[in-house]
Amino acid sequence: PHNYLLDKPQFCASYDRDKGIPNWTSWQLNSTWLGSATRETVYSSDNTLPPSFYHVTTSDYSNTGFSRGHMCPSADRLNTDANNTALFVMTNMIPQNQANNQGAWEGLENYERTLAIVGNVIYIISGGYGAGGTGLNGYAETIAGGKVTVPKKIWKVMIVLPAGTNDISRVTVSTRTIAMIINNDSTASDQNSWGTYRVSVDSVESLTGYDFFSDVSPSIQAVIEAK
Interaction residues for Mn ion, span 77-106 (CB under 5 A): 101
Q: Does 26 bind Mn ion (CB under 5 A)?
A: no
Q: Which is nearer to Mn ion, 53 or 111 (CB)?
A: 111
Runs of H (alpha helix) within 80-200? 81-85, 98-101, 104-117
**CA distances, 7 to each of 3, 49, 209 (Å):** 12, 11, 21
Q: Does 194 bind Mn ion (CB under 5 A)?
A: no
CA-CA distance, 149 to 167, in Å (whole number)?
35
Q: Which is nearer to Mn ion, 119 or 127 (CB)?
A: 127
- Contact partners, residue 207, CB within 8 Å, separation at least 6: 129, 153, 155, 181
Q: Does 212 bind Mn ion (CB under 5 A)?
A: yes
* Per annotation, catalytic residue among 55, 68, 70, 153: 70
CA-CA distance, 91 to 31, in Å (whole number)?
24
**Which of 211, 217, 222, 226 is the binder for Mn ion (CB under 5 A)?**
211
Q: Which is nearer to Mn ion, 52 or 127 (CB)?
A: 127
155, 179 contact by CB (below 8 A) = yes
In three-state secondary structure terms, 176 is strand
Output the smallest distance, CB 209 to Mn ion, in A: 11
182, 157 contact by CB (below 8 A) = no
Q: Which is nearer to Mn ion, 149 or 208 (CB)?
A: 208
Interaction residues for Mn ion, span 134-153 (CB under 5 A): none
2 is catalytic: no
Number of residues located near Mn ion, criterion CB under 5 A? 7
**Element of type H or E holding 120:** strand 120-129
Q: Which is nearer to Mn ion, 91 or 221 (CB)?
A: 221
- Contact partners, residue 30, CB within 8 Å, separation at least 6: 116, 120, 121, 122, 163
Output the smallest distance, CB 186 to Mn ion, in A: 14
CA-CA distance, 2 to 178, in Å (whole number)?
27
**Which of 26, 85, 175, 221 is the binder for Mn ion (CB under 5 A)?**
221
Q: Which stretch binds Mn ion (CB under 5 A): 10-18, 38-46, 68-76, 148-156?
A: 68-76
**Which of 8, 68, 70, 77 is the binder for Mn ion (CB under 5 A)?**
70
> Which residue numbers are catalytic?
70
Which residues are at the interface with Mn ion (CB under 5 A)?
Answer: 69-70, 101, 211-213, 221
